[in-house]
Homo-oligomer: A and B are copies of this chain.
Amino acid sequence: MRTIRITPATEQDVPLILDLIRGLAEYENLADQMTATEEKLRATLFGARPAAEVVLAHDESECAGYALFFPTYSTFLAQPGIYLEDIYVKPHSRGKGIGFALLRHVAKLAMERDCGRVEWAVLNWNEPSIAFYKGLGAVPLDDWTAYRLTGEALENLAHPR
Interface contacts beyond A123-B144, A141-B148: sample of 19 additional A-B pairs, CB < 8 Å, sorted by A: A25-B76, A35-B78, A36-B78, A52-B75, A68-B75, A70-B72, A74-B85, A75-B85, A110-B158, A118-B148, A123-B143, A124-B145, A133-B147, A138-B149, A138-B153, A139-B148, A139-B150, A140-B146, A141-B145
Copies in the complex: 2
Q: With A34-B76, A73-B51 as given contacts, are A122 and B104 in contact (CB-CB < 8 Å)?
A: no
Taking residues whose C-beta sits less than 8 angstroms from the other chain, chain A's interface range is 35 or more
Query: Which B residue sits closest to A70, measured CB to CB?
Result: B73
Instruction: Note all chain B residues with C-beta closer than 8 A to A76.
Output: 21, 25, 30, 33-36
Contact B75–A36 (Cβ < 8 Å): yes
Contact assessment for A146 and B158 in the assembled complex, using a CB-CB cutoff below 8 Å? no
